[in-house]
Amino acid sequence: MIRTVRPSQWVKNLFVLAPVVFAKHLTHPSIIKSAIGAFGVFCLLAGAVYTMNDIVDAKADRVHPVKRFRPIASGQVPVSVAKTMAVALVLTALGGALLGPIKFFIVALAYFAQNVAYSFGLKKIAYVDVGLIALGFVLRVLAGGFATNTPISGFMVGCTALLALFLGFGKRRHELASAANAGKQRAALEAYSPQALTVALAITGIATIGTYLAYTLDHDTQRFFQNPWLWATTIHPLFGVVRFLQLVVSRPKAESPTQEILRDVPFMMNIMLWVAEVVFIVYRLRPS
């Protein structure tokens, strides 16, 4: 049951905390408390969504060389138990969301509704499926802002959407290249082509880096942080984009490149260095 809700994938919900970090609110305990609560709500919702997806995809997963070992597809977790677990997770998450601002609850509800629509039909439509994945990341960022009453910049929303599209297209490119019977494993793959996905990856990857760089060079950004050197951290998004493309191409037997990045030492070291540099620049930390 724990494997079914995929706690290893909850790292994606760290996007909920992004508004707090870039608004220089990490030193405010009450705001941090609200941000952690919002993160917890989205982790529970994510667990429910993964469970629902595995229930719906059980038949297709059984013909996948890796996904056939998932608990529901393999029969380790009965469908009836999985359904009960999904309902319990949703009720607990939405009940917790009601403890926050109403806008946060609305976004959390929209996130869940969007994923229900994705699981029960829209994921079969090429490009719409990746668009909905990107929307899910944008909703996480909005939720973090609403939960903590923190303003959200257009740059952050744009960069989040582009990065999510890039990761989504990379995942589809990997699935298309590694699947012998792609249509049976994921219906939307029949409408994708390697050439189109390569172009989509190039466009969204370059746009992600460009948007991040534009944010760091924006006059309002530099004035808010009172530091002109945030642009230097662009090297890390650039490395991350290139490394992700390498993983898409070089590890065809992996279940997903988005899971591989969590196991990839160079990628994770790059993330940690980026976070350390951003915190140092944004908060102007100095040795005591």
Residue 259: is its pLDDT beyond 70? yes
pLDDT mean over 244-253: 82
34: which 2 tokens?
A: 């609200």
Cα of first residue to Cα of last residue in the chain, in angstroms, is 46
Helix (H, G, I), strand (E, B) or coil at 269: helix
- For the chain, which residues make up each domain, given as ranges? 1-123, 153-287
- The pLDDT tens digits of the residues spanning 34-70 come to 999 999 999 999 999 999 888 888 887 788 777 888 8
Mean pLDDT taken over the chain: 88
Strands of the chain, DSSP E: none
User: What's the topology of domain 1-123?
Assistant: Tetracycline Repressor; domain 2 (1.10.357)
- The pLDDT tens digits of the residues spanning 123-156 come to 888 899 999 999 999 999 999 999 999 989 899 9
- The pLDDT tens digits of the residues spanning 81-97 come to 999 999 999 999 999 99
Top mean-pLDDT range of 60-74, 230-244, 256-270: 230-244
Q: In sequence order, what are the residues at sequence separation of 6 or more whose Cβ sits closer than 8 angstroms to the Cβ of residue 173?
A: 194, 197, 198, 201, 248
Q: What is the pLDDT of residue 88?
A: 95
Enter the pTM of the model. 0.85
Could you tell me the pLDDT band of residue 113, with boundaries at 50, 70 and 90? very high
Q: Is the Cβ–Cβ distance between 183 and 225 less than 8 Å?
A: no
Q: What is the pLDDT of residue 288?
A: 43
